Amino acid sequence: MRTIKNLSKLNGRVYVYLANAEIGHRFMQQAESEGFTFNDGVKPTERGYEEIMAINHDGTLNYVGTNGRIAYGSGAKQVGGEQLIRIDFEKYLSGNDDYCNS
């Protein structure tokens, strides 16, 4: 099974693209079931998702701000000194091998 925890272990800054409401809700539910929270301890299902979410190495999630969104859309290779790893969560869930656009 593909997990969000596995994504959090990748060597870089992981941004996850959530294509629609169904995928967004699935992501938040799965993240919560795997023990992820926001930095302030709030559970993922207690907040709404955004189209692009960040997965942190410490088991937390956060929303991606303006600079991160620009980096995501521009094809930047790095953000905040780390490699930018772009994950299409719908493809990741479906088992598609082409889920990563680094």
Query: What pLDDT does residue 1 have?
Result: 85
pTM, two decimal places: 0.94
Give the span between the Cα atoms of 61 and 65, in whole angstroms: 13
Query: What pLDDT does residue 80 have?
Result: 85
Give the span between the Cα atoms of 86 and 99, in whole angstroms: 8
Which value, in Å, is the radius of gyration of the alpha carbons in the chain? 12
Give the span between the Cα atoms of 37 and 74, in whole angstroms: 28
Residue 102 has pLDDT above 80, yes or no: no
Predicted confidence (pLDDT) per residue in 68-93, tens digit: 999 999 989 999 899 999 999 999 99
In sequence order, the 6+-apart residues with CB closer than 8 A to the CB of 23 are 89, 90, 93
- The single-letter DSSP state of residue 100 is B
